[in-house]
Amino acid sequence: MNAPDLPGQPHLAYRAGGLFFEDVRLADLAEQHGTPLFVYSKAAMLEALQAYQRGFSGRQVQICYAVKANPALGVLQVFAEAGCGFDIVSAGELERVLAVGASANRVIFSGVGKTRAEMRAALEAGIGCFNVESESELEVLNQMALAMGLRAPVSLRVNPNVDPQTHPYISTGLKNSKFGIAHERVVPAYQRAAALAGVRVVGIDCHIGSQITQEGPFLEAVERMIDLVQAVEAAGVAIGHIDFGGGLGINYSGESPPGAEQLWKLLGTRLDARGFGQRLLMVEPGRSLVGNAGVCLTEVLYLKPGEQMNYCVVDAAMNDLPRPAMYQAYHGIVPLMPRGQANTIWQVVGPVCESGDWIGHDRALALEPGDRLAVLSAGAFCMSMASNYNSRGRPPEVLVEGNCSRLIRRRETVADQMSVELLSTKAP
C-alpha cells in the first residue's frame, strides 16, 4: 500500500481496509451516506480543547468556541458538554447555542454590524458580554438596554494594530481594518461607556486575525492589550476580563503553528510579568478547535487527462468547500484506499460552472473513476460557508466517536431548498 503521510491530522490513519477516522472506516461511511460527506472526530475536537485548557492551568479562563468556524448542533453539543462558552456573531448563532442548552451567561457576542433586533434577542437571553466594535454601536446598545430596563454587559473590541502575517481577507487587527475601536479612541470610548446607564463595562477584547502560524503577533497583541488596559484603568474605568480573541492557525500544508498549550503558557508568563496573569482571561478559538477534526469525503466522477492539464472531476465543489476559491487555500487530498504509485499530476476540480471551482491544484495521485478521496482539514469554515450554488444540496455531516458514528445533519434536498421560495405567477 502506498499510503500518503497525514501530518497534523489527529485520529486519521491508514489501516488494513483503508483510511480510518478514530476506529471508523471512512469508506463505510461514504457507502452508507453517499458523497460528498463531512466527517468529524469528537476525540480530535476534545483534544484540541484540552490543549487550551492545559495552557491556562492555574489561571481563571473562559474558553469561548467561535461558532462561525463550524456551527453544527452536534459540534456545539460537544463543546457545551466540555464546559465551553461560545463566541457568536449573529442572532442565528445565538439560537443555535441556546438550542444545545448552552448557558447564556457564557455567550459573548462579537461582530461589527449587530442589528437592534439581534441586540434585543441577546439582551432577552441574558448573554455574558457584548463585544462592542464601535462608538456608535455602544450608543445604540445603551438605548436598547435602557428601553428594556436592563444594563448590557460590554467589552470594547479594540484594534491593537498588530500585523498577524496571514491572508489579507482574514487579517482583522490592523489599523485600517473595519473591525474594532481604533487605538487612539479606546480611552474616550471606555469613559463614555462608564457614563452610560444602559451598559456595564465587564472587559476588553481583541481579535487580530485568523490562521496565524507564529507566536510573534500574539505576543505583540498581549503587550498592546496590557498597555490599553493600563491606560483605561488609569483614566478611572475598571476593566474586568481580558479577551484575546481567536486566530491560532492549523497545519494545512506543512505550517507549524505553535500548540495552544505552549502558546498560552508563553503568553501567560508575559501576563504574569506585567502583573495581569490573575485576571479573568478569555479566548475565542474557532479553527484551531475543529479545523483538523474534520474531513470531506468525495468521489472521483471523471478523469480528463489532457495535453497540458489532467483534470480529476470530483463530486464535491466550491459550494461545499469554498476555501480554495475564496482564499486560494490549500487542503490536503488523499485516497481512502491507496492504489499503486502516484505518478500523475491532477487538477482536482468540482462540477460547478466556474473556473474558480477547484479543490486542489497539481496533486500527485493514482486514481480511477469511482475512487473516493478525503479532503483534509475540512472541519472549519467549510460547511459553515457552504452554499446552494448550482442548486446543490449541502452535504450531510457525521460525528465519529471511537467505533461509533452518528449522523448529525442529513443531506439537504432540493425540496428543502425550494421550501422557502414562492412562485411569481400562479402555479401551472
Ligand X SMILES: *Cc1c(COP(=O)(O)O)cnc(C)c1O
Residues carrying an active site annotation = 353
Which residue's CB is nearer to ligand X, number 189 or number 367? 189
Cα–Cα separations (whole angstroms), residue 100 to 74, 105, 312, 375: 8, 14, 40, 28
- The interface region with ligand X, picked from 116-124, 219-227, 243-251, 320-328 by CB under 6 A, is 243-251
Are the C-beta atoms of residues 94 and 121 closer than 8 Å to each other? yes
Could you say which of 93, 118, 137, 284 contacts ligand X (CB under 6 A)? 284
**Please, what is the minimum distance in Å from the beta carbon of residue 224 to ligand X?**
16
**Cell numbers found for residue 156:** 470594547
Question: Residues 6 or more apart from 227 whose CB is under 8 A from it?
Answer: none
Minimum CB separation of residue 60 from ligand X in Å reads 20
106 binding ligand X? (CB under 6 A): no
Nearer to ligand X, 123 or 282 (CB): 282
Mark the segment that binds ligand X (CB under 6 A) among 98-106, 282-290, 346-354, 361-369: 282-290
Smaller CB separation from ligand X, 76 or 336: 76
What DSSP line would sit under 107-167, residue for residue?
Answer: EEE--TT--HHHHHHHHHHT-SEEEE-SHHHHHHHHHHHHHTT--EEEEEEEE------S-
Q: Are strands 294-304 and 372-375 parallel, antiparallel or unpaired?
A: antiparallel
Q: Taking CB under 6 A as the rule, does residue 217 contact ligand X?
A: no
Which of 71, 247, 268, 360: binder of ligand X (CB under 6 A)? 247
Nearer to ligand X, 25 or 287 (CB): 287
Residues with Cβ < 8 Å from 399, sequence gap 6 or more?
39, 40, 41, 42, 74, 75, 78, 405, 406, 408
Per-position x/- string for 65-104, each x denoting binding to ligand X as judged by CB under 6 A, each - no binding: -x-xx-----------------x-----------------
Q: Contact region for ligand X (CB under 6 A) — 63-71, 93-101, 233-241, 362-370? A: 63-71
Nearer to ligand X, 249 or 338 (CB): 249
Q: How many residues does the structure list for the chain?
A: 428
C-alpha to C-alpha distance for 213 and 217, rounded to whole angstroms: 9
Nearer to ligand X, 33 or 68 (CB): 68
Residue 56 contacts residue 281 (beta carbons within 8 Å): yes
Binds ligand X (CB under 6 A): choice among 128, 198, 217, 246: 246
The least CB distance from residue 363 to ligand X, in Å, is 26
Residue choice 8, 160, 285, 350 for contact with ligand X (CB under 6 A): 285
Nearest to 372 by CA among 333, 404, 346: 333
Nearest to 127, CA basis, from 100, 154, 146, 147 = 154
Q: Which of these, 358, 273, 264, 271, lies nearest to 311 by C-alpha position?
A: 358
Kindly state the cell numbers that stand for 326: 475564496
Q: Applying CB under 6 A, which of residues 41, 90, 142, 288 lies at the interface with ligand X?
A: 288
Cell 446552494, residue located? 388
Q: Which is nearer to ligand X, 69 or 336 (CB)?
A: 69
Q: Which residues contact 307 (CB under 8 A, 6 or more apart)?
A: none
Rounded-to-integer distance, Cα 348 and Cα 164, Å: 30
CB of 131 to ligand X, least distance (A): 7
Q: Which stretch binds ligand X (CB under 6 A): 11-19, 76-84, 140-148, 242-250?
A: 242-250
Shortest distance (Å) from residue 107 CB to ligand X: 13
CB of 375 to ligand X, least distance (A): 18
128 is a contact residue toward ligand X (CB under 6 A): no
Point out which residues bind ligand X (CB under 6 A).
66, 68-69, 87, 110, 207, 210, 245-248, 284-288
